[in-house]
């Protein structure tokens, strides 16, 4: 069976004439797997349809936000209802308080929150806040972690930067990254060394609790606690970038799952239920630095947008209900266990992992290799095999992230039958690779 993508190709040709690279975000261009991207026309539940009418089981889910699946009826109804009442006011609404209360009830480290429009805005603002609050300049990030595209964070970044194998981006003046220190993820000695040298200048450490923009790398036992201890010891803030892990590792994010108490948290994706939202949040004493409560300026015309607030609110209320979160997490575990089984039957070495409703797997160049950091991800990931796997899965109606250096996501809409179909496809593909 060979499916056709001719309409997608035509549409992508047209897109490239008017959009740089034909896309509005680089990994969507499929450069990590070659070929040209599928142009999507519609999504419903666990599925997306491309412009040629092909249906795919979707494990990208808009890169994480759609934890209830595409076009969940309750989310669609809430957005539709709100749209009829106005799409934006540029004035405070009760909806913002309601979503804030919902997030605070779910995430243990959060006492106050400021809504913005994207994860990039969230991380950028959280770092400004860390600097304003501590009066210090330096920040620490980890190589392969991606926190959006703000200048100071585009240093050894993951996601599209890793997929395209880019050096740090042109257009970022050295002066804007002069205060950004970089350590290897999962390496406690590396960050201890940075604190030993720069301790009293470090405003904050920003980390993805699971490094999910260089594939899927779990923190080693004790690693996040070591970051917590070191930051406290040196008077620096610990900033969890939970844009991906928030409401996905557990309803309370990675901080809820692992009992670590960050000072500040960055959110995005699920918090907007598929609409553009981000947020930075944390301890009241720190958040009171933000204008107009305090002197640190940050603002936005569409921040707290009512459509986004209702979509987020309905989504978070759903994942708190009944046993739905656990159901999604169980399906995630089943998919990952199945992938390990299928790969082992085909004698293809992989490293797979999952936490809550997120997952990832690498094809390894050789059995026995362990990926724990960006350096090992780049050295051991068999990206060429991944590209062949990706396209063969597309042929069989399964859509995974078009890059070895991205994570996968599950939704409430994915059924056991979808998982079984995915594993049957993977078995067929891996036996031929």
The yes or no reply on residue 27 touching ligand HOZ (CB under 6 A) is yes
Query: How many whole angstroms separate alpha carbon 229 and alpha carbon 212?
Result: 23
Task: Give every CB contact of residue 38 below 8 A, 6+ residues apart in sequence.
Answer: 5, 8, 50, 51, 54, 56, 394, 399
Q: Which of 82, 102, 134, 213: binder of ligand HOZ (CB under 6 A)?
A: 213
String of contacts with ligand HOZ for each residue 156-195, x by CB under 6 A: ---xx-----------------------------------
Q: Which of 63, 280, 362, 363: binder of ligand HOZ (CB under 6 A)?
A: 63
Candidates 24-32, 72-80, 280-288, 386-394 — which segment interacts with ligand HOZ by CB under 6 A? 24-32
Nearer Cβ to ligand HOZ (159/373) = 159
Nearer Cβ to ligand HOZ (138/149) = 149
Candidates 22-30, 69-77, 165-173, 346-354 — which segment interacts with ligand HOZ by CB under 6 A? 22-30
Min separation Cβ 326 and ligand HOZ, Å? 25
The yes or no reply on residue 25 touching ligand HOZ (CB under 6 A) is yes
Report the 3 state secondary structure along 92-137.
CCHHHHHHHHHHHHHCCCCCEEEEECCHHHHHHHHHHHHHHHHCCC
What's the first-to-final CA gap in the chain, in angstroms? 17
Min separation Cβ 406 and ligand HOZ, Å? 5
Burial class, 274, CB count within 10 angstroms (exposed 0-12 / middle 13-18 / buried 19+): buried
Query: How many whole angstroms separate alpha carbon 145 and alpha carbon 186?
Result: 11
Min separation Cβ 159 and ligand HOZ, Å? 4
- Helix (H) / strand (E) containing 191: helix 188-198
Nearer Cβ to ligand HOZ (213/422) = 213
Q: What are phi and psi of 409, to 5 degrees?
A: -135, 150
Would you state the structure tokens that stand for residue 352, as one six-digit string? 């797979």
Which of the residues are catalytic? 146, 241, 269
Q: Which letter does DSSP use for residue 169 in this model?
A: P
The yes or no reply on residue 118 touching ligand HOZ (CB under 6 A) is no
Q: Which of 406, 419, 425, 426: binder of ligand HOZ (CB under 6 A)?
A: 406
Query: How many whole angstroms separate alpha carbon 2 and alpha carbon 54?
Result: 11
Nearer Cβ to ligand HOZ (11/157) = 157
Nearer Cβ to ligand HOZ (214/237) = 214
Task: Give every CB contact of residue 90 below 8 A, 6+ residues apart in sequence.
Answer: 301
Residue number of the CB atom closest to ligand HOZ: 25
Positions that interact with ligand HOZ (CB under 6 A)? 25, 27-28, 63, 159-160, 213, 406
């Amino acid at each position: 069976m060979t499916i056709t993508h001719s309409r997608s190709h035509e549409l992508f040709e047209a897109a490239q004439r008017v959009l740089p690279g034909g896309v509005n975000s680089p990994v969507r261009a499929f450069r990590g797997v070659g070929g040209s991207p599928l142009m999507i026309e519609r999504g419903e539940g666990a599925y997306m349809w491309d412009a040629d009418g092909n249906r795919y089981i979707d494990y990208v889910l808009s890169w994480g936000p759609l934890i209830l699946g595409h076009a969940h009826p309750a989310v669609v109804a809430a957005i539709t209802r709100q749209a009829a009442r106005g799409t934006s006011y540029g004035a405070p609404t009760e909806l913002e308080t309601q979503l804030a209360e919902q997030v605070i009830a779910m995430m243990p480290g959060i006492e106050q929150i400021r809504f913005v429009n994207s994860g990039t805005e969230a991380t950028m603002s959280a770092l400004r806040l860390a600097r304003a609050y501590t009066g210090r300049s330096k920040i620490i990030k980890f190589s392969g972690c991606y926190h959006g595209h703000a200048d100071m964070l585009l240093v050894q970044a993951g996601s599209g930067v890793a997929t395209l194998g880019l050096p740090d981006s042109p257009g970022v003046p050295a002066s804007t990254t002069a205060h950004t220190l970089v350590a290897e993820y999962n390496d406690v000695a590396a960050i201890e060394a940075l604190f030993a040298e720069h301790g009293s200048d470090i405003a904050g450490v920003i980390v993805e609790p699971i490094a999910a923009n260089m594939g899927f790398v779990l923190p080693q036992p004790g690693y996040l606690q070591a970051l917590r201890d070191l930051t406290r010891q040196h008077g620096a803030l610990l900033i969890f970038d939970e844009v991906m892990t928030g409401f996905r590792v557990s309803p309370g994010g990675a901080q809820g799952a692992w009992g670590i108490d960050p000072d500040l948290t960055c959110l995005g994706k699920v918090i907007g239920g598929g609409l553009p939202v981000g947020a930075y949040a944390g301890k009241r004493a720190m958040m009171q630095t933000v204008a107009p409560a305090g002197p640190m300026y940050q603002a936005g015309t569409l921040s707290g947008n009512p459509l986004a607030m209702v979509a987020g609110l309905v989504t978070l209320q759903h994942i708190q209900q009944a046993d739905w979160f656990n159901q999604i997490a169980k399906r995630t575990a089943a998919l990952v266990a199945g992938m390990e089984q299928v790969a082992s039957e085909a004698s293809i070495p992989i490293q797979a992992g999952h936490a809550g409703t997120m997952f990832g797997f690498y094809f390894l160049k050789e059995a026995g290799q362990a990926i724990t950091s960006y350096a090992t991800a780049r050295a051991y990931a068999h990206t060429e095999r991944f590209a062949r796997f990706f396209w063969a899965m597309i042929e069989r109606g399964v859509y995974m992230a078009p890059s070895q250096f991205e994570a996968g996501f599950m939704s409430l809409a994915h059924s056991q039958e979808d998982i079984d179909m995915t594993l049957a496809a993977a078995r067929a593909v891996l036996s031929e690779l």
